[in-house]
């Protein structure tokens, strides 16, 4: 194996709500795998997207039935790492807090705040040789973010190029007061699956970026309550943009070097 082959390569896609299967993926193999942390949410789906090798994993299972607080994030990241993934895109449905982040808007966040609790959030536990504290100053891989943003531009999709992602516990949506607090904290979008996924990806040395699709205004941002019908309508409207960005970015993502 040449040094180039060992440093760049397989792209993983973790599909969230509305992306249980990846349109356009020419499937070559589906593998049931397990890891030292247990089984991932679904079998790994290997295939080719626009001529590039990809492995796809449905974060909530296929069919979609694992709620955000019960996803085995460690098994998902470990399974993708074991499969040889170097660069990973997490697709997340989110609520919009910032005025530029209304329903069906694509956002590539650059920061996060973790409000989740009780989730297994590290690989560094049990019998350890040393205590490890990874740097997590910048939770998303900038090079991967830029590839996604360039792909969006190429597809003439006006993706928002910033955003602080608030990761909440769920599965219930937030109160209006909780969203007001998140806004005071500096959060721009809110979802339930961004953590500990991003931290585990960093611990695993993956280039990780989040491709978020806003599916509702967050609680209290309009006079209306949040309905599943509204969420489904935004998913139907925005998912074509998400899949177009994935397709247009896949070659660039596959050329990124391993983080470590």
Interface residues toward ligand HPA, by CB under 6 A: 93-95, 168, 173-174, 190-192, 215-216, 218
By C-beta, is 147 or 164 nearer to ligand HPA?
A: 164
- In the three-class reduction of DSSP (H, G, I as helix; E, B as strand; rest coil), residue 231 is classed as helix
When the beta carbons of 86 and 94 are compared against ligand HPA, the nearer one is 94
From CA 204, how far away is CA 44, in angstroms rounded? 18
**Shortest CB 39 distance to ligand HPA, Å:** 24
CB of 83 to ligand HPA, least distance (A): 27
| Cis peptide bond upstream of 207, omega within 30 | no
If the CB atoms of residues 95 and 139 are measured against ligand HPA, the closer one turns out to be 95
Burial class (CB in 10 A: 0-12, 13-18, 19+), 194: buried
Q: How far is the CB of 119 from ligand HPA (least distance, A)?
A: 15
| E strand intervals along the chain | 11-15, 26-31, 44-49, 52-58, 87-96, 106-107, 111-114, 164-167, 189-191, 207-217
**Closest residue (Cβ) to ligand HPA?**
95
| Closer Cβ to ligand HPA, 187 or 250, answer by number | 187
Q: Is the dihedral of CA 160, 220, 195, 171 positive or negative?
A: negative
Name the minimum Å distance from CB 168 to ligand HPA.
5
Token pair 């589906």: residue: 30
Nearer to ligand HPA, 103 or 252 (CB): 103
Q: Which residue, 39 or 66, has its beta carbon nearer to ligand HPA?
A: 66
Report the nearest approach of ligand HPA to the CB of residue 232 (Å). 11
Rounded least distance, CB 120 to ligand HPA, Å: 20
Any alpha helices (H) in the chain, and if so which ranges? 3-7, 73-82, 142-154, 176-184, 197-203, 228-254
Which residues does 110 contact at the CB level (< 8 Å), separation at least 6? Answer: 138, 140, 142, 145, 161, 162, 163, 164
Nearer Cβ to ligand HPA (148/179): 179
- In the complex, the smallest distance separating the C-beta of residue 129 from ligand HPA, rounded to whole angstroms, is 38
């Amino acid at each position: 194996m040449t040094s180039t082959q060992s440093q760049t390569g397989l792209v993983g896609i973790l599909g969230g709500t509305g992306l249980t299967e990846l349109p356009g993926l020419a499937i070559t193999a589906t593998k049931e795998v397990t890891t030292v942390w247990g089984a991932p949410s679904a079998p790994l789906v290997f295939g080719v997207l626009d001529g590039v090798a990809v492995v796809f994993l449905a974060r909530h299972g296929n069919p979609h039935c694992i709620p955000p607080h019960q996803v085995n994030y460690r098994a998902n990241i470990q399974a993708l790492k074991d499969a040889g993934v170097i660069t990973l895109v997490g697709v997340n449905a989110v609520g919009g807090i910032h005025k530029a982040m209304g329903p069906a808007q694509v956002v590539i966040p650059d920061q996060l705040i973790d409000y989740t609790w009780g989730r297994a959030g590290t690989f560094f536990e049990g019998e350890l040789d040393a205590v490890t504290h990874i740097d997590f100053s910048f939770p998303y891989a900038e090079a991967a973010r830029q590839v996604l943003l360039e792909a969006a531009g190429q597809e003439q999709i006006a993706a928002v190029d910033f955003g602080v992602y608030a990761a909440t516990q769920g599965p219930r949506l937030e109160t209006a007061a909780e969203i007001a607090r998140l806004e005071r904290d500096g959060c721009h979008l809110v979802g339930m699956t961004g953590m500990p996924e991003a931290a585990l990806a960093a611990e695993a040395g993956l280039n990780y970026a989040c491709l978020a699709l806003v599916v509702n205004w967050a609680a209290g941002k309009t006079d209306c309550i949040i309905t599943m019908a509204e969420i489904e309508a935004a998913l139907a409207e925005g998912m074509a943009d998400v899949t177009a960005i994935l397709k247009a970015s896949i070659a660039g993502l596959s050329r990124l070097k391993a983080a470590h």
